[in-house]
Amino acid sequence: MILISAALLVSYITFYILVVYPKKQYISKMTSKMISMTLGMTSSILIGLLIGILLQGNFIKSTILAIIISFIFALLIGKPFGNMASTEALCSSLMGGMMGAMLGEMLPSRDFHLMLFFIDSIYIVSMAYMLRVIKKKNLTK
């Protein structure tokens, strides 16, 4: 389940890059900030949860690692929209990485599947909605 979630995260971010980077000029500043914040937060919660589950029992390392990896993903998410959107994504990823790592640390080691499925579902819905917003903005221009 952990590998599936990690593969889901990487594949959606890759798809996002392939779809968004060429269409960035059609997306308004406000929409780009919303996209960056939403995807930065949901991606980093999933990253933090995965790392928190994998490094359960070592809260400091899982938090630091989740924040660092979330920052990288946030830069990829916010990069096409400029500094303001990147800052939005970075701040959201900081908070999401910490919360995800904390959540992964608090879960009993044998009962993480339901929470992982739930966070995966939130991530999929968020990504699908943001891609729909991007598609809609691109069609109106």
Q: What is the pLDDT of residues 62-100, one digit of tens each?
A: 999 999 999 999 999 888 888 888 998 999 999 999 999
45 neighbors 101 (Cβ within 8 angstroms) = no
Identity of the amino acid at 39: L
Q: pLDDT tens-digit profile of 4-52?
A: 989 988 998 888 888 888 888 888 888 888 889 999 999 999 999 999 9
Is 115 a residue whose pLDDT tops 80?
Answer: yes
What element of type H or E holds 57?
none
pLDDT of residue 67: 93
pLDDT of residue 139: 53
| Interior angle at CA 119, CA 122 and CA 52, nearest 5 | 150
Strands of 1-141, DSSP E: none
Q: Give the pTM.
A: 0.88
Structure tokens at 15: 């798809």
98 neighbors 44 (Cβ within 8 angstroms) = no
